[in-house]
Amino acid sequence: MADHNALLLQKPVEVETIWAGTHLAKALDSPNRLGTLWTLSRHPHAMTTVDGGPMDGLTMAEAVDAAPDALLGGHEMLHGGYIDADQFLSVQVHPDPAYAEHHEGDNGKTETWYVIDCEPGATLVAGTTAKTREELREHVENGTVGDLLVHHEVHPGDVVHVPYGTLHCIGAGILCAELSMDSDTTYRFFDWNRVDSAGNARELHLDKSLDVVRLENQPQIVPVPKTGESRVTVAVKDPDYDTLVIDVHGALPYDHRGRPAALMVVDGAGTAECDGETVELGSFGTVMVAAAAGTVTLRGDMRLFVAEGK
């Protein structure tokens, strides 16, 4: 038996938030107010654990430390989860890798979302019309920063790519999957004047947000319609990872080309088979494919949201 998994199914980490919807809590039969379900993470903020196989019970940090070449093959670690928003999240921005390393000892963060479901007319924030950082600061201080935020209407099946440095915010009534660089450095720019149950406003990080914001950044929004056929659609190519949508109806071979990959279920269910291992894939599930693994055979009737590390 190999000393590492080809397919690393994850035990997720539940995170309560003040803006949570009800989809995740109902699906997982949880009493908690779940806004986020981290389903692939090596980050200490919310680290997932391997479920089954030779590495069963290891945290992702322990698994990668035990077999870095087999799991990552010199590529970057990926991060994945599901977000269920009943209210707008805070408007936030992530730094680039150099700034994050220098100021936080962390990685930068580009992220990509797949809209699983949303209310009609639901929007998210990505980008700003501000021309200068001084203009942004002035509007924050005047309480009018909302006038400078760009809203985008989204629909189920949309892939939304948000590079680091982009002001962004997932909107109310959106259930989505998220794939990203492995980081937890988030600078909260604006929180809609919201307070918690104790009447306290959440901390803002205005100076750091203005340090790292890239005013020219805009999102990529790529609709991926369903055709009823098995296919692999490359939605976004980015310097840090590529994002795909894979539709499976029956059986489909998936070649990850020697790169670590994160496979997230966004519709339906099925299995993944590789190197003698088989894992079940269902609602709100994620499996990491090791870089050293062979071709993966996907079976079932499902749609997967996938990232491949670089």
Q: Is residue 127 part of a domain?
A: yes
Q: 163, 190, 223 — which closes off a domain?
A: 223
Same domain membership, residue 286 and residue 160: no
**Distances from the Cα of 57 to the Cαs of 6, 42, 49, 51, 60, in angstroms?**
15, 14, 6, 6, 9
Same domain membership, residue 130 and residue 104: yes
Return the percentage of the chain with pLDDT > 70, whole number. 100
Same domain membership, residue 282 and residue 150: no
Same domain membership, residue 105 and residue 16: yes
In the predicted model, residues of the chain with pLDDT beneath 50 are: 1
Same domain membership, residue 209 and residue 275: no
In this predicted structure, what is the pLDDT of residue 196? 73
Q: Is residue 1 part of a domain?
A: no
In this predicted structure, what is the pLDDT of residue 1? 43
Q: Is residue 2 part of a domain?
A: no
Strands 149-153 and 34-40: unpaired
Which member of 137, 188, 231, 299 is catalytic? 188
pLDDT tens string 79-113: 999 999 999 999 999 999 999 999 999 999 999 99
pLDDT tens string 188-243: 999 888 877 788 888 899 999 999 999 999 999 999 999 999 999 999 999 999 99
Q: 223, 240, 259 — which closes off a domain?
A: 223
Same domain membership, residue 88 and residue 56: yes
- Whether 133 contacts 212, CB under 8 Å: no
- CA dist 216 and 231 (Å) reads 34
Range of the domain at 73: 7-223
Q: 160, 193, 223 — which closes off a domain?
A: 223
Same domain membership, residue 236 and residue 116: no
Same domain membership, residue 59 and residue 196: yes
Same domain membership, residue 183 and residue 36: yes
Same domain membership, residue 21 and residue 100: yes
**Sign for the pseudo-dihedral over CA of 183, 286, 119, 197:** negative
Structure-token match 């307070």, residue found: 195
Query: In total, how many domains does the chain have?
Result: 2
Backbone dihedral angles phi then psi of residue 157, each to the nearest 5 degrees? 95, -5
Please indicate whether residue 188 is annotated as part of the active site: yes
Same domain membership, residue 258 and residue 207: no
Q: Is residue 187 part of a domain?
A: yes
- Residue 132 gets the label, from left (phi > 0), alpha (psi -120 to 50) or beta, of beta
Same domain membership, residue 187 and residue 68: yes
CATH number of the domain residue 236 falls in: 2.60.120.10
